[in-house]
């Protein structure tokens, strides 16, 4: 339902803002502002995107957690899409997402709202890893599987195949 509201509300807000700004400063200055914000926003998005990529590469090279640089990069991408969308409201949102402290605050707030869906516990003891649910105990002699008897005679097409090769493989 919120997605429907978003697709209806944003265009209405943009149209209202275009009418208000266009009435106050005129058609050409309004269009100029829209084009200028798209060009400047794209340039800013490009530089911040490169910086986010460098931070991601550094985190991966150092063995750190790449989650935060990835989320920053995703928010910069969203900012770029918003800046390329004509309108004052989307431009304001896009410019806001290009402010690093605001992105950090958004990540922190959204991160608190996220809940882990599952938790996996593993344990080891002096005897080594212990079996978990659905796993047989160590040293079990039973292996389950399917098999097929394969005729080891020469294949019909005359090519040599390794022993045990089946036409069904």
pLDDT digits (tens, 9 = 90+) for 54-88: 988 998 888 888 888 899 999 999 998 898 888 89
Q: What is the pTM of this model?
A: 0.61
- Name the helix (H) or strand (E) containing 5: helix 2-25
Overall residue count recorded for the chain in this entry: 169
Give the model's pLDDT for residue 86. Answer: 86
List all residues 6 or more positions away from 13 whose beta carbon is below 8 Å from its beta carbon: 89
pLDDT digits (tens, 9 = 90+) for 129-149: 555 555 555 555 666 777 677
């Amino acid at each position: 339902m919120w997605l429907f509201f978003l697709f209806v509300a944003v265009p209405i807000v943009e149209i209202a803002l275009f009418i208000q700004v266009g009435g106050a400063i005129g058609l050409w200055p309004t269009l100029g502002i829209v084009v200028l914000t798209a060009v400047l926003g794209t340039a800013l998005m490009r530089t911040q995107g490169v910086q986010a990529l460098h931070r991601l590469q550094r985190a991966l090279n150092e063995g750190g957690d790449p989650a935060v640089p990835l989320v920053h990069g995703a928010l910069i991408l969203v900012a770029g899409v918003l800046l390329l969308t004509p309108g004052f409201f989307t431009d304001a949102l896009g410019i806001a997402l290009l402010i690093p402290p605001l992105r950090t605050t958004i990540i922190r707030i959204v991160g608190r709202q996220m809940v882990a869906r599952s938790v996996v516990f593993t344990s080891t003891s002096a005897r080594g890893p212990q079996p978990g649910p659905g796993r047989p105990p160590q040293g079990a002699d039973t292996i389950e599987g399917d098999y097929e008897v394969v005729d080891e005679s020469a294949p019909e097409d005359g090519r040599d195949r390794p022993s045990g090769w089946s036409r069904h493989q």
